Amino acid sequence: MQSHLRDNISIGDIARSSYVSPRAVQLAFRHHYDTTPMAYLRHLRLCGAHAELVASSPRDGATVTMIATSWCFGNPGRFAIEYGRVFGEPPHVTLGRRSLEN
């Protein structure tokens, strides 16, 4: 999963690469991480998008939509809601912070 965070992958893809059934993947994630495979993947992608937002600036042409899309979030509004829930602020605030510091 880690090496395919920016790829459009499904639970079937994860199962095939692990040589197990999709149900086995679901059970393993529930047992080891207490979550679903797709929720875990979404969290990893949110963390990747967060790191990119922190390192980017609107002055360099970066936008929240561009960064969200590059991390496989197809709906910018939903991305903003989930991002805010995890990081405690909207993604545009994170992106704009670097511009204010320079």
- How much is the pTM? 0.90
Average pLDDT, the chain: 94
Scanning 1-102, the segments in alpha helix (DSSP H) are: 11-18, 22-33, 37-55, 64-70, 76-87, 91-101
pLDDT of residue 1: 86
- The per-residue pLDDT for range 35-45, each reduced to its tens digit, is 999 999 999 99
In whole angstroms, how far apart are CA 15 and each of 9, 22, 33? 11, 5, 16
The CATH architecture of the domain made up of 2-101 is: Orthogonal Bundle (1.10)
Q: Tokens for 36, please give them.
A: 């679903």
- The per-residue pLDDT for range 52-90, each reduced to its tens digit, is 999 999 999 999 999 999 999 999 999 999 999 999 999
